[in-house]
Amino acid sequence: MFLAVAVALFISCGQQEQKSEMDTFISDLMPQMTIQEKIGQLNLVTPGGGILTGSVVSTDVEDKIKTGRVGGIFGIYGPGNLRQAQQMAVDESRLGIPMIFGADVIHGYKTTFPIPLGISASWDLELIEKTARIAAQEATADGIFWNFSPMVDIARDPRWGRVAEGAGEDPFLGSRVSEAMVRGYQQDDLARENTMMATVKHMALYGASEAGRDYNTVDMSRNRMFNDYLSPYKAAVDAGVGCVMTSFNDVDGIPASGNRWLLTELLREQWGFDGFVVSDYTSVNEMIDHGMGDLKAVSALALKAGLDMDMVGEGFLTTLEKSLEEGKVTEADIDLACRRVLEAKYKLGLFDDPYRYFDASRPEKDILTTENRQAAREVAARTFVLLKNDNQILPLEKSGTVALVGPLADSQNNMLGTWAPTGEHHLAVKVIDGFKNVGGDEVEILYAKGANIVDDPDYAAKINVFGPKVDIDERSPEAMIDEALAVSARADVIVAVVGEASEMSGESGNRTNLDVHEEQKKLIRALAETGKPLVLVLMAGRPLTIEEEVELADAILLTWHPGVEAGNAIADALFGDYNPSGKLTMTFPRNVGQIPLYYAHRNTGRPQAGDEFEKFKTNYLDSPNSPLFPFGYGLSCTTFEYSDVSLSTAAISTDETLEAKVTVTNTGDYDGEEVVQLYIRDVITSITRPVKELKGFQKVFLKAGESKEVSFTLSEEDLKFYNYDLNFVAEPGEFIVFIGTSSDEVKEARFFLE
Ligand code: BGC
């Protein structure tokens, strides 16, 4: 114990010392800076190599760098380019302050992993951390050391395209993923050549945009904010995240980028965040359209609120001096923001060596290595969710004839998924090639496209903004279906690869209709009519409404957009080289009218038990309440059986813990992994609480026939929530603990907190 205390003291003394060295360094530097140079540090530009998501594009970048008017750049890549840009700042600007270089490395750098919603469906935190680690290794090799990730916005509305970028609907799971990503990117030392500063985004509540429309208004109670939406951002802060990005939406009536309560009182004073805050792309300027004043007014508002760096909009650069003269902001406000940006640069080691990330020999060694691609393949297979598998049609045998059909079976441009600006489509493995690689010589593959992703050229044009994702065939829809039927007639099994093009989700990829497109539905209906075994491989960036497809197909494997190793990973999962183990992290509704639909809902005063319609209960005339697939759902090619839940004690006091145990048995024919999930319900509470809340999960591997005891420890801490006064408390009384294979297939036991 003495040793532990001594080590802890030593570490904290070391950190103190570093902090005071940093403070001294910056305190020496800042008095040398003019006010323009200080404001220059708050300016983030992009010369256009990234994805332009706003209406402003940076201009005269070189001149601005040389005159000390740029703090950082995003959207340029490669040690050579970045070294050259850095040299401009270091050698040609008056004080030689280095710049930070950022990028959106959302799910891998060049080795593209599945979209984040898919990654979360692995429920494997070590694996998730590893994806971030590999991304950081590759990005830093290419000169990028500041990442606009993780995106941790809780999302309960699948119409919103950006659900693809986050970890789904649940704050507990979302928080664990958030921490894992921050650890993966930053490790414990930002100055290391292969770590990068993470940015948690988008603070806050961006996922609750009304009607699932991007950038739309958000309005929610503090109770809901604190209990359901804020914890993943806080988890990143607790994990030491270096940067926070604001969101486009309002938070309680004030846009996030100008919201002092959010950026200063909550983030810094309550949560203790000590990094810097960057706006989203022109989100400061956008406060003009929110009705908060002209550019000068909104820029002053943002600075006063606690926003430190202005992304692309240059409201800070062009108006803060004037606001200073007019007394709308103080020099201390500017100093504070400038200091925070300089601190980030210090922590990244840039004042020691501004070129530390620009080793020209690294890209070749570190990027797209065989190991990284292998990791991408393994990760992808672990994110797939088996939604249906009647008559054990999966795994497929590595013999016989497969009709491989569908618009995504031979597509390369849709494999990486949304927000993969650094990925390279031409490296992605198509499904048809994965089938050849994994199926081996004994499998004959017959291919037909069968349908377009969409037939409508206007719709296709919106999806093709970042390059061709949808190509519309010259043949008629009927001719394409006929061809698919002809190859199917010669096959033992049909595998149809259908779903969304990658840009049908992601930023500005919102939909009011979540069906598989009608042209693909026609193909699926025709294939089902053949009576041959039909497997659907469903690619999507979000939950889709697939009630009809679930009826028609014998098996459905949901693969999201799987990344650079797409085809290999899909073939691994279909041919039994990997037994699917993913579980949904977002509820699949039956229809759009049920949205928002999520498992952790409140009970209401008139709950309806089950789907049988009862007049004057919480329900619909034209749809059951239940989802098509609940949160936590996902099958395996094997089967798992759960024992009853046993608790180590029937009551705990506030300083005690309780063990909740089940025995899980693999009762099927294949080895496999199962995500064992623990939920609780607080039975009597001072404010209404969810019917179930995830509080733990473990992914366990079981050989066929094997049993394992899985044990969770619960303490008062796990039972806490934000009460009416927003105090984080546990209330004594009865609790139900549920353990099971999904949020709605569980066994339960009860205990008391005394
Ligand atoms: C997105 C951010 C992204 C930024 C920079 C914005 O449009 O909302 O998530 O980090 O662009 O590319």
Instruction: Return the H-helix or E-strand segment holding 61.
Output: helix 61-66
Ligand 1: which residue has its CA nearest to atom 7?
Answer: 53
User: Token pair for residue 367?
Assistant: 């990027």
Q: How far is the CA of 207 from the centre of ligand 1 (A)?
A: 14
What average pLDDT does the structure give for the chain?
96
Q: What is the spatial distance between Cα 98 and Cα 599, in angstroms, rounded to a whole number?
A: 48
Tell me if residue 280 is catalytic.
Answer: yes
Of the candidates 104, 124, 280, 366, the residue annotated as catalytic is 280
Q: How far is the CA of 562 from the centre of ligand 1 (A)?
A: 21
pLDDT score for 15: 72
Average pLDDT per consecutive 10 residues, the chain (754 residues; last block may be shorter): 56 75 98 98 84 67 95 95 95 98 98 98 98 98 98 98 98 98 97 98 98 97 98 98 98 98 98 98 98 98 98 98 98 98 98 97 98 98 98 97 98 97 97 98 98 97 94 97 98 98 97 98 98 98 98 98 98 98 98 98 96 98 98 98 98 96 98 98 98 98 98 98 98 98 98 97
Enumerate the H helices of 562-713 as residue ranges: 566-574
Residues with CB under 6 A from ligand 1: 50-51, 53, 104, 148, 201, 280-281, 507
Q: How far is the CA of 523 from the centre of ligand 1 (A)?
A: 36
Instruction: Return the H-helix or E-strand segment holding 486.
Output: helix 477-489
**Burial state string for 28-46 with b = 16 or more CB within 10 A and e = fewer than 16:** ebeeebeeebbbbbbbbbb
For the CA of 248, the closest atom of ligand 1 is 8
pLDDT score for 55: 59
**Which among 206, 117, 157 is positioned nearest to 596, based on CA atoms?**
157
Q: How far is the CA of 467 from the centre of ligand 1 (A)?
A: 18
In the chain, what is the straight-line distance between the N-terminal and C-terminal CA atoms, in Å? 31
Whether 490 contacts 401, CB under 8 Å: yes
pLDDT score for 11: 55
**Which among 549, 465, 540 is positioned nearest to 500, based on CA atoms?**
540
Ligand 1: which residue has its CA nearest to atom 11?
Answer: 281
pLDDT score for 51: 53
Residue 562 in 3-state DSSP? coil
Ligand 1: which residue has its CA nearest to atom 5?
Answer: 281
Q: What is the pTM of this model?
A: 0.97
Ligand 1: which residue has its CA nearest to atom 6?
Answer: 281
**Burial state string for 455-479 with b = 16 or more CB within 10 A and e = fewer than 16:** beeebbeebbeeeebbeeeeeebee
Enumerate the H helices of 264-400 as residue ranges: 295-305, 315-325, 331-347, 362-366, 370-383
Beta bridge partners, 635, equal 386
